[in-house]
Structure 1
């Protein structure tokens, strides 16, 4: 599999320089799916960008999503004729798009798509994620048909979590890619 067939799907506001997604992109040559507006994410627009990224992959891509990117995977998979091309998805720290404090920031994402994903997926959640209650993350994994992994207390599993290149996450991605 070519590194460019691993698609990085950041969440709202993109992933900064210390985020594991950015570090993986730099280290491994994975390809970030760029969005037109990282600050005002529109579900349909983000889905169109993912659709285009999947279509141009040489092989079945693996999706590596963080936060709102997890919801992007679910929404895209529910509507795309190309969803069967995806090999697997790593879903990390999904945001709760229905929370009162988050909903006004991402209004086009509620209600979330809660259909099973048509490809293998693994959802990683933190017990102290400020953007999604742990049990809510578990329910999202169940709705999406994803395996669930408890990452302990890791915050939003982002740049502020002090993970660096996050070798544990890389190992989980490699395991997911073997299936």
Structure 2
């Protein structure tokens, strides 16, 4: 398949939205065709509000799109895919947070996530090509759980090694591999 235009890149951040030193923010600044789902003003823990924000951001983009999601942004993406039929060129789903398992202190409580529509995690195949980047030592998701999600979603699995949650706390500002993986989706 030959594309007439380069796909737009849409960043789908997690529940902490935009962090200046996060690899998604830094990558967006480097790519001329990149945008991000804007932070929510209200209902910040609502899965439905997050899915609606993703859909609204997609509505502003004409042509092919590659989604680049991280953490709970992966869950926003898979929930969105269950409800909408817009054609997506591909998705990089990095370090998904397992929101069906209690998260470490400092993150939303299991009950709060359940009450805001995050459970269950959709496990049906995604209607677009995707790859899941999984960390071997992510405090927000065991590798085996992420591996099972990738299989259920029909995604290729990329073993990232021990990269923690692939965020600034784990030492990731820049993440050069993201550009290589996005290029594979083009």
Q: Is the Cα–Cα contact under 8 Å of residues 43 and 49 in structure 2 kept in the other structure?
A: no
Q: How does 1:78-97 map to 2 (within 5 A)?
A: 78-82=82-86, 85-97=87-99
Residue 165 of structure 1, CA deviation: 2.2
Q: Give the RMSD, CA atoms, in angstroms.
A: 1.8
TM-score by length of 1: 0.90
Whether the 8 Å CA contact 2:81–2:127 is kept in 1: the answer is: yes
The structure whose residues are more often helix, as a share, is 1
- Count how many residue pairs are aligned between Structure 1 and Structure 2: 174
The equivalent of 1:77 in structure 2 is: 81
Mark the runs of 5 or more structure 1 residues left unpaired by the alignment: none
- Return the match for 1:65 from 49, 69, 74: 69
Query: Are 2:61 and 1:52 aligned?
Result: no
Q: Aligned runs of 1:124-163 on 2, under 5 Å?
A: 124-163=133-172
TM-score normalised by L of structure 2: 0.86
Partner of 1:100: 102
- Give the distance between the partners of 2:80 and 2:93, measured in 1 at CA: 14
Q: Secondary structure at the match of 2:74?
A: helix
Secondary structure of 1:100's match? coil
Preserved CA contact (<8 Å) 2:124 2:152: yes
Question: For the Cα contact (< 8 Å) 1:12–1:38, is it kept in 2?
Answer: no
Report the Cα distance in structure 2 between the residues aligned to 1:104 and 1:66, rounded to whole angstroms.
Answer: 22
SS in structure 2 of the partner of residue 47 of structure 1: helix
In the alignment, which of 39, 47, 63 is matched to residue 43 of structure 1? 47
